Amino acid sequence: MLTMLIHPRTLSALCLCVLSYNALAQDKSQLETRPQSAHQVAPTVDAGAQAQQWQHIATSIQHHLEDNLYQLPPRVLGHYGIRMYRMTGNDKYANAALTDLFVISENQSFYACKLKDKTFVAEQSQLAIDALGKGPRAKARQKALAPFPEFLFYTDILLRTASRIDEFGLQGPCHQELINALKATDLKTGLTDPAMIKSWAAQLINYVYWAKQLGVGDYVDVYKQAFNQVYPAANDAKLTKAQFRNKLYGMTHFIFAASGYYQKDVDAKEFAWILSYFDANIERILTDATADIITEVGISFLLAGQDNHPVVAKTKAAIAARYQADLQVIPSPRGNPDLTSGEHRNVLAIMLFNWPERLHPGPKLAELKVTKKLLPKQVTVAN
């Protein structure tokens, strides 16, 4: 029984969290397991036992997360539900996405409907920068943002919100005003700035693909060129552990963003430059990268249809070694088992260990029986 109280942003979000929890709990006994791919080699006894162990870890983490959904704020709950929907196609995860939709549609209304007010844009831009925090990484990011004071407002607020609503097959409030503002904004300079890439490579590639998704600019090629100029393989030996991780995180997100965040497979040839790099550097990756990044490296191969690549097994073994059975989670590097801060790491582990035969786009919330009558009044179905 849960004893932890939460304080959701809105009454609607709380109600939807309850709906999501109930839908998930009802089907807990029927948690999906991945069928064996037809093209996979028949496992040996040892390989079969190992696969069974990995499946057990995935199921245990999934049980634990779904037993404690009330702990998760709407954004984190949405992150979990959306990924599990894309892994399984099971409608029981749609209400988690709906919870997220209520929050982000309200956010878009607040920000996108005031874009003509330049004072408002400047104030919200500064608040976004201030919210980064005061640690060393935050200070580095704030310094990198100094020449682009409104960059976060247009990317991490507007692009992030509108792209997520678009993934659900919908458009949020003041959608056209938002699109017009993004088209009129110089995103290229901030996206390709070396200091920005060194500060948050993965976030930038997300912004690049979200801009393309919404039709407000195609920066994929120029970002790829800028990224590789900042992080040429010849300079790897000079990279600190933090910069090596930033490079890896950026590379995984080239693939993740191209997949629509696990909605479709990617072309292994297109991303051979990344996959071959991971293969060549897997030992350093296993030593220096975080559990989140190691898991993402393995999933990158799965998205490219390379289930049997040795890197996949190596990442699974490394993540399995970090699993703590008494906590039913993969804790943070400092041993913190908190689900809100660790959901990303743990849902990725479920995905790595239990990759499906096919991915499921969406959820298209206006088309699903369980959600189509519950949509926020501020959204409309996309054309």
pLDDT in tens, 307-360: 999 999 999 999 999 999 999 999 998 999 999 999 999 999 999 999 999 999
Look at residue 238 in the predicted model and tell me its pLDDT.
Answer: 96
Look at residue 13 in the predicted model and tell me its pLDDT.
Answer: 41
pLDDT tens figures, 48-102:
888 899 999 999 999 999 999 988 999 999 999 999 999 999 999 999 999 999 9
Q: Identify the band that residue 134 occupies on the pLDDT scale cut at 50, 70 and 90.
A: confident
Look at residue 53 in the predicted model and tell me its pLDDT.
Answer: 92
Look at residue 291 in the predicted model and tell me its pLDDT.
Answer: 97
Q: Identify the band that residue 136 occupies on the pLDDT scale cut at 50, 70 and 90.
A: confident
Q: Whats the size of the chain, residue-wise? A: 383
Checking 66-69 for CB contacts under 8 A at 24+ apart, the result is 66/21, 66/24, 66/25, 66/28, 67/28, 68/2, 68/4, 68/339, 69/17, 69/20, 69/21, 69/24, 69/96
Look at residue 49 in the predicted model and tell me its pLDDT.
Answer: 87
Mean pLDDT of the chain: 90
Between the alpha carbon of residue 197 and those of residues 162, 224, 276, the distances in Å are 23, 11, 21
Segment 362-381 mean pLDDT: 97
Look at residue 137 in the predicted model and tell me its pLDDT.
Answer: 85
